[in-house]
């Protein structure tokens, strides 16, 4: 019982999956596998020859904390903006900013593509194109339309454009503005020479040959202008940045189909980044130099005026030097004036700084405090911190939304530092004013001494003092200017290139073209496997005798092969065929059964099935035929009164039959018909009656069966399908054995449950199965033999069936 339970299939009342049926079904699809795999390989081949491979190249940089060795606490004009970690974040923001990528695209002119037609597409050949197109500034170029350049020889070339509409979009790459222009629909052709200025409404520039490059007549290329913002966005998205373990190392990589473009873009990105970082690092120095230059111009003019005034006074009054006493007083006053000037510069810087902080939204343009002699540590540190936060805010503005909370946090920190600086300014301003008051009192004492000198000496003293003050101020700014130049020239970028981007034989990162064929094979196999699995899982048909035996305890009497003839007389027409041998085997099994039951006299057998089409009539005819061919008087009675069939194969009429006898119209001898088979008579069913069940249950049926048993050795009853009507059950009392026909790939498993139920209840006795239509090489048979046929050893004993052609086999395969 356990083995039978395991053999049941899920769709037929059992639970397990029929692995053998699945494997057999899969093997039967071998032609479809070949077809699907062939189609998959062909598709992959077509894709491979059209696919452009992608490559990944990279560069590596390091963010260094570069401090200038020339800087001291007194001379430094720059600030440290938060150490390396802060710089890494700033540089990450810079690399993601649109402004940086705009500079890179602008520098490399990546908005212009150089193309060459290949078999399936236009490939970007970049610098491999032997020519270069130099744009005329402030002119418009047509967007997204390939422009063909054909070299005709002798420096002559042709520009060809095919306009599919009467308007075209253009862009000016100087200011990035766009316009829509009108063009003539269709083809445009015009010849130019190398280095000629091309001046067209949609194309403006000069075509020149690259260094050491040549073109041959007939060479054909394309140029195509692309939307600047679109190109920037595409390359910005392509740039991948990796910061391993939040270290000072940054790995930049990019994926593209053109390796040379990747190399240039990565290296140019690092170059623009390095220049940007250096400019930002020297921002204080640059601002200070601009401030000093403005002061030098002002002081230089004042110094010139004072020098002219001094020289003029000396010439007019013939006084060229102060007296010794005047010179001593002058030196003291000069020293005091210089000290006062320094304090005034500090005071002016404090006032300027306070005004700047109160009115400005950006705090990155403050001149270095050291220029004005500011040495207060609190002010220096807080200004540097504000500058650092302002730089971060500026960089975030290009990558982060304006309403992000990070801006609120930065503004809050900046406002806090501003308040601290205001307090520091108030404090040092008071101290500075006090210092100025002390210096002015000292100057007043010395000036009192001057008033005791002669009048001419006093005038010379005043003029010379103004000149000396201007000269000292000018020399001081000139010194600061030299210091700033030294610091700027000594500064280096915080971005250190470890490995530049370089093509060292990069391999495609896409799936290898050869590997795709594996997926083609899998794609050809997998759908059929799934189909085979689903069909097998939901299949409710019986496909081999072993399944039948697992479904029922009813004995299997025999297996009959598939009939390939055009009628049902398989035994009579081909007595040496394997089918004829199968029916002889059935005859022997029935005779053994009759003998085991000790039956004497006439033997009767009933042939039925589940539904129409399972070969019930075919088996009835051939069972009757083998009995008749053994020399026994046999009669075949057609009791399927609803759907009579047996008359056509014997070429007899069905006008008179069992129905006529049962209703008393004809006598027994009138309904019996001879056949071309010796010892075999047939009684057809006759006209279709309105009450077949009642007729089969009448006394006339008893009389008919009695007469048959008197006149014949074997009586074969062809009855209606037991799964459709109850007529066959009414006839079981007349027969010694019942045969239930099951057809391969046709009978449903659920019908076997119906037969099992009737058999277990005793409604049908002495029942056996006959497996019909068995095809050992068919779709679902797998080596189940029951002795009908002898394989290659049967030559000379069995007639060979006609072999099907390849087209017939293919038709059968797809039908199944």
Pair (605, 706) in one structural domain = yes
pLDDT at 402 over 70: no
Q: Which residues touch 634 (CB under 8 Å, ≥6 apart)?
A: 624, 627, 628, 679, 680, 681, 712, 713, 714, 715, 716
Within a domain: 91: yes
Q: Which residues touch 89 (CB under 8 Å, ≥6 apart)?
A: 392
Within a domain: 278: no
Pair (382, 492) in one structural domain = yes
| pLDDT of amino acid 76 | 40
Using the 3D structure, point to which of 240, 267, 294 is the last residue of a domain. 267
Sign of the dihedral defined by the CA atoms of residues 15, 21, 23, 28, in that order: negative
The better pLDDT of the pair 189, 247 is held by 189
State the CB neighbour count (10 A cutoff) for residue 51: 17
Containing domain of residue 242, as a range? Answer: 55-267
Pair (416, 533) in one structural domain = no
| pLDDT of amino acid 81 | 38
Q: Are 651 and 644 in contact (CB under 8 A)?
A: no
Share of the chain above pLDDT 90, in %: 34
| pLDDT of amino acid 160 | 96
Within a domain: 579: yes
Pair (85, 118) in one structural domain = yes
pLDDT tier for residue 396 given thresholds of 50, 70 and 90 = low
Alpha carbon separation from 371 to 89, 285, 296, 480, 491 (Å, rounded)? 30, 10, 13, 7, 18
Phi, psi of 199 (to 5 degrees): -125, 90
pLDDT in tens, 501-530: 888 887 777 666 677 788 888 888 999 899
Instruction: Provide the domain count of the chain.
Output: 4
The better pLDDT of the pair 287, 630 is held by 630
Within a domain: 508: no
Sign of the dihedral defined by the CA atoms of residues 533, 537, 542, 548, in that order: positive
Q: What is the mean pLDDT of residues 654-669?
A: 91
pLDDT at 17 over 90: no
| pLDDT of amino acid 4 | 37
Pair (408, 427) in one structural domain = yes
Query: Which of 20-24, 587-591, 691-695, 780-784 is least confident?
Result: 780-784
Q: Are 136 and 259 in contact (CB under 8 A)?
A: no
Within a domain: 276: no
Pair (589, 727) in one structural domain = yes
Q: Are 749 and 544 in contact (CB under 8 A)?
A: no
Within a domain: 86: yes
Pair (451, 560) in one structural domain = no
Within a domain: 708: yes
Pair (570, 607) in one structural domain = yes
Pair (409, 332) in one structural domain = yes
Within a domain: 502: no
What SS3 class is residue 363? coil
pTM: 0.54
Mean pLDDT estimate for the chain: 80
Element (H, E) at 49: none
| pLDDT of amino acid 404 | 64
Q: Which residues touch 2 (CB under 8 Å, ≥6 apart)?
A: none
| pLDDT of amino acid 602 | 92
| pLDDT of amino acid 75 | 41
Pair (46, 120) in one structural domain = no
pLDDT in tens, 323-363: 555 567 667 777 777 777 777 777 777 787 777 777 766 65
Pair (754, 665) in one structural domain = yes
Q: What is the mean pLDDT of residues 197-214?
A: 94
Q: What is the mean pLDDT of residues 573-583?
A: 90
Pair (290, 411) in one structural domain = yes
Cα 152 from Cα 155, distance rounded (Å):
7
């Amino acid at each position: 019982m356990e083995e039978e339970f395991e053999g049941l299939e899920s769709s037929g009342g059992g639970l397990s999956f029929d692995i053998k049926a699945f494997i057999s079904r899969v093997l039967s699809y071998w032609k479809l596998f070949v077809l699907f795999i062939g189609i998959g390989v062909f598709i992959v081949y077509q894709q491979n020859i059209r696919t452009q491979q992608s490559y990944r190249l990279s560069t590596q940089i390091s963010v260094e904390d570069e401090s200038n060795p020339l800087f001291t606490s007194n001379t430094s004009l720059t600030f440290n903006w938060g150490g390396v970690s802060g710089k890494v974040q700033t540089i990450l923001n810079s690399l993601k900013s649109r402004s940086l990528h705009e500079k890179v695209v602008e520098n490399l002119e990546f908005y212009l593509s150089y193309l060459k037609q290949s078999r399936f597409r236009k490939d970007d050949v970049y610098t491999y194109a032997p020519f270069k197109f130099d744009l005329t500034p402030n002119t418009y170029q047509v967007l997204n339309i390939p422009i063909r350049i054909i070299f005709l020889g002798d420096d002559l070339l042709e520009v060809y454009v095919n306009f599919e509409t009467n308007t075209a979009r253009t862009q000016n790459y100087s200011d990035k503005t766009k316009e829509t222009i009108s063009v003539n629909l269709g083809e445009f052709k015009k010849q130019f020479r190398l280095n000629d200025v091309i001046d067209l409404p949609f194309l403006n520039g000069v075509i020149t040959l690259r260094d050491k490059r040549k073109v041959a007549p007939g060479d054909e290329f394309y140029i195509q202008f692309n939307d600047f913002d679109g190109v920037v966005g595409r390359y910005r998205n392509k740039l991948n940045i990796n910061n391993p373990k939040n270290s000072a190392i940054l790995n930049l990589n990019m994926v593209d189909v053109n390796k040379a473009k990747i190399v240039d873009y990565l290296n140019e990105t690092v170059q623009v980044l390095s220049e940007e970082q250096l400019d930002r690092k020297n921002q204080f120095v640059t601002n200070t130099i601009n401030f000093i230059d403005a002061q030098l111009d002002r002081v230089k003019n004042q110094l010139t005026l004072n020098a002219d005034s001094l020289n003029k006074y000396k010439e007019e009054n013939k006084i060229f030097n102060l007296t010794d006493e005047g010179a001593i007083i002058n030196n003291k006053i000069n020293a005091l004036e210089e000290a006062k000037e320094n304090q005034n510069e500090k005071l002016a810087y404090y006032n300027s700084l306070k005004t700047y902080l109160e009115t400005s939204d950006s705090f990155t343009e403050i001149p270095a405090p050291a220029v004005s002699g500011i040495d207060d540590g609190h002010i220096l540190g807080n200004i540097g911190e504000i500058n650092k936060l302002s730089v971060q805010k500026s960089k975030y503005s290009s990558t982060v939304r304006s309403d992000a909370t990070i801006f609120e946090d930065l503004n809050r920190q900046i406002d806090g530092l501003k308040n601290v600086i205001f307090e520091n300014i108030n404090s040092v301003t008071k101290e500075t004013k006090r210092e100025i008051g002390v210096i002015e009192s000292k100057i007043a004492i010395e000036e009192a001494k001057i008033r005791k000198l002669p009048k001419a000496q006093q005038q010379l003293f005043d003029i010379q003092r103004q000149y000396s003050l201007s000269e000292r101020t000018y020399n001081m700014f000139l010194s600061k200017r030299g210091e700033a130049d030294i610091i700027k020239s000594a500064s280096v970028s915080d971005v250190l290139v470890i490995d530049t981007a370089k093509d060292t034989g990069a391999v495609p990162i896409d799936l290898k073209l050869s590997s795709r064929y594996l997926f083609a094979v899998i794609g050809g196999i997998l759908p059929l496997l799934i189909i085979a699995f689903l069909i097998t899982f939901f299949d409710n048909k019986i496909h081999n005798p072993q399944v039948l035996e697992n479904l029922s305890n009813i004995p299997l009497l025999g297996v009959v092969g598939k009939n390939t003839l055009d009628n049902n007389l398989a035994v009579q027409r081909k007595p040496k065929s394997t089918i004829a041998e199968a029916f002889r085997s059935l005859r022997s099994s029935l005779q053994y059964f009759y003998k085991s039951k000790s039956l004497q006299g006439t033997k009767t057998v009933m042939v039925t099935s589940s539904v129409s089409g399972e070969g019930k009539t075919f088996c009835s005819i051939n069972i009757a035929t083998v009995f008749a061919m053994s020399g026994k008087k046999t009669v075949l009675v057609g009791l399927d009164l609803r759907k009579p069939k047996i008359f056509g194969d014997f070429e007899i009429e069905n006008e008179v039959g069992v129905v006529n006898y049962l209703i008393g119209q004809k006598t027994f001898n009138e309904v019996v018909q001879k056949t071309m088979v010796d010892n075999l008579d047939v009684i057809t069913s006759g006209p279709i009656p309105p009450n077949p069940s009642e007729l089969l249950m009448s006394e006339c049926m008893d009389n008919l069966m009695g007469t048959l048993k008197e006149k014949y050795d074997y009586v074969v009853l062809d009855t209606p399908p037991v799964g459709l009507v109850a007529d066959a059950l009414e006839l079981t009392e007349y027969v010694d054995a019942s045969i239930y026909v099951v057809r391969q790939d046709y009978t449903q498993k659920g019908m076997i449950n119906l037969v099992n139920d009737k058999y277990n209840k005793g409604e049908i006795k002495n029942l056996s199965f006959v497996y019909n239509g068995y095809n050992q090489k068919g779709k679902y048979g797998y080596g189940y033999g029951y002795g009908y046929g002898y394989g290659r050893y049967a030559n000379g004993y069995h007639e060979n069936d006609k072999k099907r052609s390849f087209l017939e086999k293919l038709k059968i395969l797809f039908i199944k």
